């Protein structure tokens, strides 16, 4: 057990190292595999995801978790599996193009999922390059397929996916796999270029005939639960037409307040005029009249002057 | 100033009193909606005319309706729609006051009160084996004190008390593979005979004691050559059947328990009879009918077992059951098909040579041939027997014929609509005849004055009635031309009978109807049925002279590989322009987004061999198609295998006869669902003609999110194979529902989500960037509705104004399915009380108006629910800004507001579908709900913000304006006068 495990650890370590090296010296290889290690959805099934598990390096560097791990491993039998990727140019027959390797993790409740998916692509042969060029010229489809069941390939049927060949060339040939899985069954492969590929697709021969691959493994998501409110259901109007929220005094009565304000302002200005009038040194007898005139409005008062 | 304030307040009170509501008032019913009731194709009819003040006929139909119709006018007295699985096997009248129905394969027996249709009793007869079901009601038989009815169903014979449905006795009759074909009860005896066949080779006769149900005698005899189907019973002791080759007639004599066979070769009857014969199901005294060589032959059996030919008729002949006349005689009716007419002949049972009655009735060719006839007798003024006949036609219409005239007719084909399409009416032109619009000015003013009185609530009841009448009878809505608001349209509906109807949206009347020849039974097409309707030509702009037309697609049989038929029908005139077929099989019709120079839409028809054929077959269409060849994609789904595939056009077919309109296809992608865990149960796609006003959605915090809008999205739902059954058949642990949103060009899964502990049935609707679906949550024991909204992330950086100014945005970049979509999805679920029959969404002309979901509830009503209730951004405590945006606080269940029932108090019995059509007015959408009944109305999901309501009182507005002008003058004069006084002071 220990030896097997350590050897697998070693392998992992090596492969990660290799992966890192290959990132730096990518040009010297015919192909380049770029495994996306930290994947969000990878453990999205029951029990929530354990972010640690996505990083194989973590488990290596944490000796205290041996007990937990061994109990984990006691129930599951991790095994390495491989499944092929095949491709076709236009309507040609499918031919092997590479292989995926992954670990099959058996959960204690019986479910099986794939983890640590990595992909290695075969280099393109000369005829394949020629074929690919033809596809580029004709703006035709480059097609790939994988088995629908990874344990007993090809399963019921192959999963086919295709892309217009002109979408792939960038510097090299950029491709992006998103593999949707349900247990050990592959449901679908979303295959395409990582970037955009707008319609009048330009004819472009890649500088390098090597694939730069990104792979993402995706498991199903759980639907959000319906919120359950135990209280306040009665309190609610139950009709969605909630009682209008209590509005402020101003919001409620503005239509009365504005005319009122106008009247008050009007009265004040008149009162001010009235105050001015005695200041002008008018005889006291006229003051009486001015008070009466205040109601008549300002214009009248002004005119009188 | 005081005056101004007063006027201001007056106006304020005026405006505040004219508030708007979502629901309608009682007097608005029928104003812009109509409701029609149908029953479906009649299977069986029982007349009830004796000793009844209201003469009626009780019918059962293929839509599982039992109804009582007025024999004078054809109106429905009462009607009950049984469930879709509760097929009615037999009906009859017992005790003169109960209608007895036997349904669900002879297991449910119900009694309905004849006058009002109330259910009196119901009893469940639990049979052991599926079998024929027979209902037999003896006229006057009492066991103990009760009158009984005999029922054979589920392999058992029952005597049931007709007063309360109690089972008096039960006798299990079936032997292995056997079935009873007839119950015979000779009047006044104590024995009932049950006669049947075992494995089509052995003749069985049982004699059963009527009082106790005990088996008195069982005799059987094997006929080695084997029978071919049903027995025809001539008298109480003689039955006739054909042998397995169809060339030998076997008369079975089973009187007194002794069985004997008499064989007669068909060719012995007459030298011109050759070929296999088919027994026609008839119930005639002492005779039976055969179909040989497409002609109907009536054969009589003499007392000594000899058979002799009475008469031979043409192919399409309908025969009624025999009817007892008063003097112990029996009569029956025969309908022969003529050219544009039918001939009804009534004959006496024992006398073939003379006719009691022979009438020729003019018949519309569009009704097709008569398929069934039921006759009834009445006493004429001269004390002789008169006859009336109820005729069921090929187009499922029902006619009552009396004295050579059609008394009434019902278009019951409309109870089984398979597809609906809307078509525009002609533009108003000089040449087009238009209904008289408005009367004179005085009438107009009078009408508005009445309305004003109604508004001010000073109208007398007479006035109210007059107003209501005026509203309903408004000639405006039933004109035969296009209107400004686009409310008047034609609804083209295709019925199961293969008849096309055009209904006017204004009042629901039938403008034209057409029985399509291509969908009629013929030599080459044995069992045709209509599949779907498609807009073939929709003239716009430069080709306005052309009439619009629809494409009707049909199939010759139920299987998908049977030949297809096509026909193109002009929607203005209702004439068939052209038809094709039977031709290649049709599995799918894809309307392409291209039209040719006469606005004919290009269609791609797929057959079972995955070949695509282009229509119309013109060079121009081919040119357009070749240009766009690389951009045409579609998908197919194999539900049984759980495989979805994407396809594109490859190259021309290699056929024996070169066909440049036929194309091979190739597979581009596939999605394989694991059979052991997922099975597709529902799909939804966007309506291809749906208009989306804007892609951007402005949030409360001035942020913008972009809807992911693609025409190529498919929603589908899968469940665990165990959970396909009805609700409750699985535990929550072994049942789940997985929903997918995929792009059908590339096969990308944009969203995949599992609902644990949920199961179907799933109803879903896809619109803009959202899907709403309805399913059952087993854990919560309630129905749920969920919403998924999809937003485009790749356009998010367009918010930067600087970038917009510098032109560094991607707003104008073309969208392609081949880019990796950066989408985010939002989802939320809510409980919902009702189970649903169907789900639809409103659609408007420009897509600006907010949407409403139209839920066809299990109670056969249509409920409108604002899309705002299904918004994944709802939270329990929305912020002030969010509230202003219109986000409703989150609740766990969706509200059902009684006022928002679109169908108000009415029911659309047997609801099957809801079609929505945008009107020209942006705020309004036309809704057509169909099932056994039809219902049409107009909806304004955000209220009619772009037009005044139809009952807006122009008179009141006018009076207000006049009053205001007068007030202005009066106050002006007043103030002038006052000023003058001031100046003189």
Those of residues 712-741 in B touching chain A at CB distance below 8 A are: 738-739
The CA distance from B11 to B960, in Å, is 9
For A75, the domain range is: 2-218
Query: Which residues does B292 contact at the CB level (< 8 Å), separation at least 6?
Result: B266, B273, B274, B275, B276, B277, B278
Residues A21, A127, single domain; the answer is: yes
Token code pair at residue B32: 């812009």
Contact predicate B811/B795, CB 8 Å: yes
Of the candidates B879, B885, B853, the residue with the CA atom closest to the CA atom of residue B767: B853
pLDDT of residue B609: 85
The fold adopted by the segment(s) B42-222 is Methylamine Dehydrogenase; Chain H (2.130.10)
Query: Pick from A169, A202, A218: which residue ends a domain?
Result: A218
Residues A54, A195, single domain; the answer is: yes
Query: Pick from A218, A242, A268: which residue ends a domain?
Result: A218
Counted across chains A and B, CB pairs separated by less than 8 A come out at: 157
Query: Which residues does B89 contact at the CB level (< 8 Å), separation at least 6?
Result: B102, B103, B105, B106, B133, B135, B153
Which helix or strand (DSSP H or E) is residue B201 part of? none
Per-residue model confidence as pLDDT tens digits over B397-437? 999 999 888 999 999 999 999 999 999 888 776 544 433 44
Kindly list the residues from chain B whose CB atom is less than 8 angstroms away from the CB atom of residue A185. 672, 674, 677
Cα angle vertex B415, ends B410, B417, to 5°? 130
Query: Which residues does A99 contact at the CB level (< 8 Å), separation at least 6?
Result: A82, A83, A84, A85, A119, A120
The CA distance from A256 to A103, in Å, is 76
The CA distance from B244 to B443, in Å, is 76
Query: Pick from A193, A218, A243: which residue ends a domain?
Result: A218
Contact A190 B755 (CB under 8 A): no
Out of A156, A162, A228, closest to residue B668 by CB:
A162
Q: How many domains does chain A have?
A: 2
Instruction: Tell me which of A278 and B533 has the higher pLDDT.
Output: B533
Query: Which residues does A98 contact at the CB level (< 8 Å), separation at least 6?
Result: A31, A84, A85, A119, A120, A121, A122
Token code pair at residue B619: 């060079």
pLDDT of residue B440: 62
Contact B650 A91 (CB under 8 A): yes
Residues A184, A285, single domain; the answer is: no
Please tell me if residue B315 touches chain A, with a CB cutoff of 8 Å: no
Burial B503-520 (b: 16+ CB within 10 A, else e): bbbbebeebbbbbbebbb
Query: Which residues does B914 contact at the CB level (< 8 Å), separation at least 6?
Result: B838, B839, B840, B854, B856, B862, B927, B928, B929, B930
Cα angle vertex A15, ends A14, A20, to 5°? 100
Which helix or strand (DSSP H or E) is residue A198 part of? none
Contact A188 B794 (CB under 8 A): no
User: Which site among A112, A186, A223 would you substitute to test the B interface, given the most B Cβ atoms closer than 10 Å to its Cβ?
Assistant: A223
Q: How many residues does chain B have?
A: 985
Query: Which residues does B5 contact at the CB level (< 8 Å), separation at least 6?
Result: A259
In eight-state DSSP terms, residue B675 is: T
Per-residue model confidence as pLDDT tens digits over A284-298? 444 444 444 444 444
Residues A274, A127, single domain; the answer is: no
B323-324 and B330-337: which strand pairing?
antiparallel
pLDDT of residue B539: 78
Those of residues 623-682 in B touching chain A at CB distance below 8 A are: 630, 641, 643, 645, 648, 650, 666-675, 677-678
- HSE-CB at A289 with a 13 A cutoff on CA atoms is 12
pLDDT of A239 above 80:
no
Sign of CA dihedral A198, A202, A206, A211: positive
The CA distance from B477 to B77, in Å, is 29
Kindly list the residues from chain B whose CB atom is less than 8 angstroms away from the CB atom of residue A217. none
Residues A163, A287, single domain; the answer is: no
Contact A223 B816 (CB under 8 A): no
Place of tokens 């009347």: B509
Out of B12, B648, B672, closest to residue A255 by CB:
B12
- Assigned domain for A226 exists: no
Please tell me if residue B829 touches chain A, with a CB cutoff of 8 Å: yes
Query: How far from the centroid of its chain's Cα atoms is residue A303's Cα?
Result: 75
Token code pair at residue B140: 């006057």
- HSE-CB at B473 with a 13 A cutoff on CA atoms is 9
Residues A127, A170, single domain; the answer is: yes
Contact B754 A190 (CB under 8 A): no
The CA distance from B985 to A302, in Å, is 16
The CA distance from B594 to B600, in Å, is 8
pLDDT of residue A245: 58
Domain boundary assignment for chain B: 42-222, 316-410, 682-805+817-832, 953-985
- Assigned domain for A232 exists: no
Contact B891 A186 (CB under 8 A): no
Place of tokens 């485009």: B792
Phi/psi of residue A134, each to 5°? -60, -40
The CA distance from B870 to B830, in Å, is 8
Distances (CA, A) of A41 to A195, A215, A225, A304, B752: 21, 13, 18, 88, 11
The CA distance from B910 to A54, in Å, is 54
Residues A165, A265, single domain; the answer is: no
- Assigned domain for A166 exists: yes
Instruction: Tell me which of B74 and A241 has the higher pLDDT.
Output: B74
Residues A284, A150, single domain; the answer is: no
Instruction: Tell me which of B677 and A277 has the higher pLDDT.
Output: B677
- Assigned domain for A6 exists: yes
Per-residue model confidence as pLDDT tens digits over A202-228? 787 887 888 888 888 888 788 887 777
- The nearest alpha carbon in chain A to B788 belongs to A223
The CA distance from B842 to B850, in Å, is 9
The CA distance from B350 to B234, in Å, is 12
A32-35 and A211-218: which strand pairing?
parallel
List of chain B residues with pLDDT < 70: 1-30, 52, 174-177, 271, 273, 303-305, 315, 429-441, 471-476, 541-544, 795-818, 949-951
Please tell me if residue B889 touches chain A, with a CB cutoff of 8 Å: yes
pLDDT of residue B500: 93
Residues A137, A91, single domain; the answer is: yes
Min Cα–Cα distance to chain A from B321, Å: 56
Phi-psi region of A293 (alpha: psi -120 to 50; beta: other; left: phi over 0): alpha
Helices (H) and strands (E) counted in chain A, each on its own, are 7, 10
Contact B891 A195 (CB under 8 A): no
pLDDT of residue A300: 43
């Amino acid at each position: 057990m220990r030896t097997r495990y350590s050897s697998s650890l070693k392998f992992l370590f090596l492969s990660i190292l290799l992966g890192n090296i290959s990132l730096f010296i990518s040009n010297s290889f015919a192909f380049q595999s770029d495994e996306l290690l930290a994947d969000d959805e990878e453990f999205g099934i029951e029990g929530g995801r354990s972010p640690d598990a996505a990083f194989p390096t973590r488990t290596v560097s944490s000796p205290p978790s041996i007990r937990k791990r061994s109990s984990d491993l006691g129930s599951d039998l991790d095994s390495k599996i491989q499944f092929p990727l095949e491709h076709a140019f236009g309507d040609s027959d499918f031919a092997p193009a590479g292989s995926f390797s992954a670990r099959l993790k058996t959960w204690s409740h019986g479910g099986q999922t794939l983890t640590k998916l990595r992909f290695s692509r075969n280099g393109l042969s000369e005829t394949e390059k020629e074929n690919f060029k033809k596809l580029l010229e004709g703006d035709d489809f480059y097609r790939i397929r994988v088995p629908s069941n990874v344990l007993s390939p090809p399963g019921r049927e192959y999963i086919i996916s295709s892309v217009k060949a002109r979408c792939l060339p960038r510097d090299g040939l950029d491709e992006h796999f998103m593999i949707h899985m349900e247990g050990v069954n592959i449901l679908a492969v979303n295959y395409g270029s990582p970037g955009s590929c707008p319609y009048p697709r330009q004819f472009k021969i890649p500088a390098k005939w090597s694939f730069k691959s990104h792979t993402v493994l995706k498991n199903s998501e759980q639907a959000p639960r319906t919120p359950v409110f135990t209280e306040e259901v009665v309190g609610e109007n139950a009709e969605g037409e909630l009682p209008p929220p209590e509005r402020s005094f101003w919001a409620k009565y503005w239509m009365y307040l504005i005319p009122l304000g106008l009247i008050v302002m009007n009265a004040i200005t008149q009162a001010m005029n009235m105050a001015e009038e005695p200041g002008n040194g008018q005889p006291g007898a006229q003051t009486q009249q001015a008070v009466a005139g205040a109601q008549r409005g300002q214009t009248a008062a002004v005119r009188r002057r | 100033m005081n005056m101004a304030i007063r006027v201001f307040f007056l106006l304020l009170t005026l405006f505040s009193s004219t508030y708007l509501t979502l629901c309608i008032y009682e007097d608005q019913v029928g104003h812009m909606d109509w409701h029609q009731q149908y029953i479906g194709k009649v299977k069986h009819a029982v007349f009830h005319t004796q000793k009844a003040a209201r003469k009626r006929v009780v019918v059962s139909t293929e839509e599982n309706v039992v109804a009582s119709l007025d024999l004078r006018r054809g109106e429905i007295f009462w009607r009950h729609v049984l469930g879709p699985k509760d097929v009615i096997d037999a009906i009859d009248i017992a005790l003169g006051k109960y209608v007895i129905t036997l349904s669900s394969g002879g297991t449910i027996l119900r009694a309905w009160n004849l006058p009002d249709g109330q259910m009196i009793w119901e009893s469940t007869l639990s049979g052991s084996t599926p079998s024929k079901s027979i209902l037999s009601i003896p006229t006057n038989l009492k066991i103990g004190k009760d009158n009984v009815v005999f029922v054979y169903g589920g392999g058992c014979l029952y005597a049931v008390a007709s007063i309360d449905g109690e089972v008096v006795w039960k006798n299990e009759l079936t032997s292995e593979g056997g079935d009873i074909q007839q119950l015979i009860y000779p009047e006044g005896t104590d024995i009932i005979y049950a006669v049947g066949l075992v494995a089509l080779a052995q003749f069985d006769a049982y004699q059963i004691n009527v009082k106790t149900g005990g088996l008195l005698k069982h005799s059987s005899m094997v006929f080695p050559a084997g029978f071919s189907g049903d027995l025809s019973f001539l008298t109480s002791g003689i039955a006739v059947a054909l042998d397995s080759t169809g060339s030998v007639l076997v008369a079975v004599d089973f009187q007194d328990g002794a069985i004997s066979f008499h064989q007669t070769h068909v060719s012995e009857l007459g030298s011109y009879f050759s070929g296999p014969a088919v027994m026609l199901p008839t119930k005639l005294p002492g005779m039976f009918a055969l179909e040989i060589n497409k002609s109907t032959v009536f054969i009589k059996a003499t007392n000594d077992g000899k058979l002799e030919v009475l008469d031979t008729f043409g192919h399409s002949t309908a025969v009624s059951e025999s009817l007892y006349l008063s003097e112990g005689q029996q009569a029956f009716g025969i309908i022969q098909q003529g050219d544009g007419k039918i001939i009804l002949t009534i004959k006496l049972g024992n006398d073939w040579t003379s006719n009691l009655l022979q009438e020729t009735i003019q018949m519309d060719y569009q009704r097709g041939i008569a398929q069934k006839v039921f006759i009834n007798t009445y006493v004429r003024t001269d004390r002789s027997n008169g006859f009336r006949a109820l005729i069921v036609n090929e187009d499922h219409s029902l006619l009552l014929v009396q004295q050579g005239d059609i008394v009434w007719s019902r278009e019951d084909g409309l109870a089984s609509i398979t597809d609906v399409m809307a078509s525009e009416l002609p533009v108003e032109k000089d040449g087009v005849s238009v209904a008289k619009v408005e009367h004179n000015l005085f009438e107009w003013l009078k009408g508005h004055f009445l309305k004003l009185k109604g508004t001010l609530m000073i109208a007398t009841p007479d006035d109210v009635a007059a107003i209501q009448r005026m509203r309903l009878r408004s000639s405006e809505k039933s004109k035969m031309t296009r209107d400004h608001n686009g409310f008047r349209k034609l609804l083209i509906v295709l019925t199961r009978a293969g008849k096309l109807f055009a209904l006017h949206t204004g009042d629901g009347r039938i403008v034209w109807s057409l029985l399509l020849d291509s969908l009629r039974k013929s030599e080459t097409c044995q069992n045709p049925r209509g599949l779907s309707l498609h807009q073939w030509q929709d003239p716009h702009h430069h080709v306005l002279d052309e009439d619009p037309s629809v494409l009707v697609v049909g199939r010759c049989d139920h299987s998908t590989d049977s030949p297809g038929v096509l026909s193109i029908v002009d929607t203005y005139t209702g004439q068939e322009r052209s038809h094709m077929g039977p031709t290649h099989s049709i599995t799918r019709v894809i309307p392409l987004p291209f039209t040719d120079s006469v606005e004919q839409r290009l269609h791609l028809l797929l057959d079972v061999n995955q070949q695509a054929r282009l229509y119309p077959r013109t060079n121009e269409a081919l040119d357009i198609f070749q240009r766009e060849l690389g951009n045409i994609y579609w998908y197919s789904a194999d539900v049984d295998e759980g495989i979805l595939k994407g396809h594109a056009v490859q190259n021309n077919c290699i056929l024996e006869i070169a066909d440049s309109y036929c194309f091979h296809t190739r597979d581009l992608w596939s999605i394989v669902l694991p059979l052991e865990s997922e099975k597709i149960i529902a799909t939804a796609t966007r309506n291809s003609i749906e208009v989306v006003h804007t892609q951007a959605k402005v949030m409360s915090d001035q942020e913008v999110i972009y809807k992911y809008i693609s025409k190529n999205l498919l929603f589908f739902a899968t469940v665990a194979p165990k959970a396909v059954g009805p609700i409750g058949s699985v535990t929550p642990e072994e049942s789940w529902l997985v929903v997918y949103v995929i792009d059908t060009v590339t096969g990308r899964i944009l969203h995949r989500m599992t609902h644990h502990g949920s199961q179907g049935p799933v109803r879903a609707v896809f619109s803009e960037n959202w899907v709403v679906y309805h399913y059952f949550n087993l854990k919560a024991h309630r129905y749920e509705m969920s919403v998924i909204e999809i937003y485009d992330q790749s356009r998010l950086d367009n918010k930067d104004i600087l970038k917009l100014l510098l032109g560094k945005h991607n707003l104008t970049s073309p969208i392609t399915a081949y880019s990796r979509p950066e989408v985010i999805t939002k989802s939320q679920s809510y409980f919902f009380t009702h189970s649903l029959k169907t789900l639809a969404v409103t659609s408007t002309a420009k897509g600006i108006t907010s949407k409403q979901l139209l839920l066809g509830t299990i109670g056969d009503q249509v409920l409108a629910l604002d899309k705002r209730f299904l918004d994944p951004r709802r939270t329990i405590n929305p912020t002030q800004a969010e509230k202003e945006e219109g986000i409703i606080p989150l609740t766990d269940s969706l509200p059902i507001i009684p006022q928002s029932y679109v169908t108000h108090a009415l029911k659309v019995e047997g609801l099957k579908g809801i079609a929505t059509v945008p009107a020209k007015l942006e705020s309004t959408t036309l809704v057509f709900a169909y099932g056994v009944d039809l219902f049409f109305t107009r909806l304004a999901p955000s209220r009619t913000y772009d037009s005044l309501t139809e009952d807006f009182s122009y008179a009141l507005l006018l009076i207000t304006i006049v009053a205001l002008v007068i007030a202005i003058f009066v106050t002006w004069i007043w103030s002038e006068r006052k000023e003058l006084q001031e100046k003189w002071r």
